[in-house]
Structure 1
Amino acid sequence: MYYKGFYAFEHKTPVPAVIRNYTEDDFTELINIQSEAFPPPYPSELWWNREQLLNHTTLFPEGALCVEVNGELAGSVTGLKIDFDRESTAHTWAEVTANGYITTHKPDGNTLYIADVCVRPKYRKLGLGKELIQSLYHVVVEQKLERLLGAGRMPGYHKQAPEMTAEQYLGNVVSGEIIDPVITFLLRCGRTPIGVAADYLEDEESCNYAALMEWRNPFR
């Protein structure tokens, strides 16, 4: 099981924090965090429910992590193992995660796939999202997987959609011409884009597109 104590920083002040596996005792608060982290127009039916969370902690507890700050639950990340072929990247969030129930988890898979990462808005300046994702890098290495993979929302794309394709938008984010709140963050976490997934998730801000991004295990 996973446990990491560290100090996050609120401006210049160190703040004690812990990343650990989440359990059934955390479910109510994790759902509250989802509602705060993904407000409308994000569809509320895509927030976690208790059955999904129970599957996370039962099918692959190693990929079900949360972060606490001063004893308060501040965010979470959820992953599952899949078999991934770089020659066939087209998929939707619903397909790969079984609509968040992760019954698609493959114990002998080659890739750790991020189903979700979220942080309470009041804690977003503490760098907790990056710490959560890096904790999954540790899981990738420990389980000798090939990569961490996930599809990042492109919430700034709807503003640029009349002028450029989703692929062009992603290219402009990577070149630094555009700053996207999600994709730029993932680049800072060490993730590399490998393509764009159309109709990935019902998401008005991203025009239903997502950037498929990986982190390769440097020990493989």
Structure 2
Amino acid sequence: MRKEMIVYVSGKPQRVIIRNYIFTDMEAMIAIQRESFPPPYPSELWWNVEQLKEHISRFPEGALCAEIDGQLVGSMTALLTSDSVTESHSSWEIATDKGYIRNHDPAGLSLYVVDLCVIPAFRSAGIGKWLIQSMYEVVVHLNLKRLISGGRMPGYHRYANQATAQQYLDRVVAGEWKDPVITFLLRCGRMPIGVIANYLEDEHSCNYAALMEWSNPFWNNNMQPKGS
């Protein structure tokens, strides 16, 4: 994939390229993580070279980045998996093989999002939304059934004493409460289909995540997926 578009950063137009990241991008990919998740976030949770090598070699179609003026400013990574895996409500570590995606299933019909990240200086430019839109295009191009992921619920800790995780999600969907991640995903066309306990160690989300889905409106179950 490679496409160009104009986004607005502090009111000024900027040309952004969304493309597949490659082996020569690995240092820049790690820099995105470093800038997006500074200390006290543990550096061992940033992407490492071995993980990135696996992404690029196993499923290059699911390895996307955003570039402005030669600088990588965001990325999104995914793998293919079967319905049985996604419906088991697995933790992030199990669903993504701890980020190494060695469990990528070329015959899978669901595209599972491993990570979405944009550096702080460009988060107001809509780049995250365009990366998600680009991954929807991958789903359509490969004739996959859907895109799915666990979405953190970082606002939940404020309401955990008065609502279950499912009740919190329901009220966010109803517009009564707002969540930085879930509200964003809803605006990107994602639909909630459940709640995952012990998804990821995340104090703000109380370790919960919402299972969020985008169904491919063009899916043809009589046609073999292109990735298989």
Q: TM-score, with normalisation over the residues of structure 2?
A: 0.92
1:164-209: CA deviations, max 9, x gaps?
1111111111011111111111001100000000000111111111
- Aligned amino acid, residue 117 of structure 1: L
| Distance in 2 of aligned mates of 1:125 and 1:15 | 13
More deviation in 167-176 or 33-42? 33-42
Identity among equivalent pairs (%):
56
| Distance in 1 of aligned mates of 2:175 and 2:16 | 31
| Distance in 2 of aligned mates of 1:211 and 1:141 | 23
**Mapping of 1:192-207 within 5 angstroms?**
192-207=191-206
| Distance in 1 of aligned mates of 2:26 and 2:175 | 38
Query: Which residue in the other structure is 2:78 paired with?
Result: 79
1:129-158: CA deviations, max 9, x gaps?
000011110100000000000111111111
Verify the 8 A CA contact 2:157 2:206 in the aligned structure 1. yes
1:77-130: CA deviations, max 9, x gaps?
000000014993421111111000000100110100000000000100000000
| Distance in 2 of aligned mates of 1:162 and 1:46 | 29
| Distance in 1 of aligned mates of 2:7 and 2:177 | 28
**Mapping of 1:207-218 within 5 angstroms?**
207-218=206-217
Query: Which residue in the other structure is 2:20 paired with?
Result: 21
| Distance in 1 of aligned mates of 2:113 and 2:40 | 22
| Distance in 1 of aligned mates of 2:92 and 2:104 | 13
Q: Does 1:120 align with 2:111?
A: no
More deviation in 78-87 or 155-164? 78-87
| Distance in 1 of aligned mates of 2:164 and 2:85 | 22
Verify the 8 A CA contact 2:192 2:212 in the aligned structure 1. yes
- Aligned amino acid, residue 185 of structure 2: L
Query: Which residue in the other structure is 1:152 paired with?
Result: 151
- Deviation for aligned residue 1:25: 1.4
Q: Which consecutive residues of structure 1, in runs of 5 or more, have no partner in the other structure? A: none
Verify the 8 A CA contact 1:113 1:149 in the aligned structure 2. yes
CA RMSD of aligned residues (A): 1.5
| Distance in 2 of aligned mates of 1:32 and 1:211 | 28
Verify the 8 A CA contact 2:86 2:95 in the aligned structure 1. no
Verify the 8 A CA contact 2:172 2:182 in the aligned structure 1. yes
- Aligned amino acid, residue 123 of structure 2: R
**Mapping of 1:1-220 within 5 angstroms?**
2-39=1-38, 42-85=41-84, 88-220=87-219
| Distance in 1 of aligned mates of 2:207 and 2:131 | 25
Verify the 8 A CA contact 1:42 1:203 in the aligned structure 2. no
| Distance in 2 of aligned mates of 1:128 and 1:22 | 15
| Distance in 2 of aligned mates of 1:3 and 1:50 | 23
SS of residue paired to 1:138: helix
| Distance in 2 of aligned mates of 1:98 and 1:133 | 21
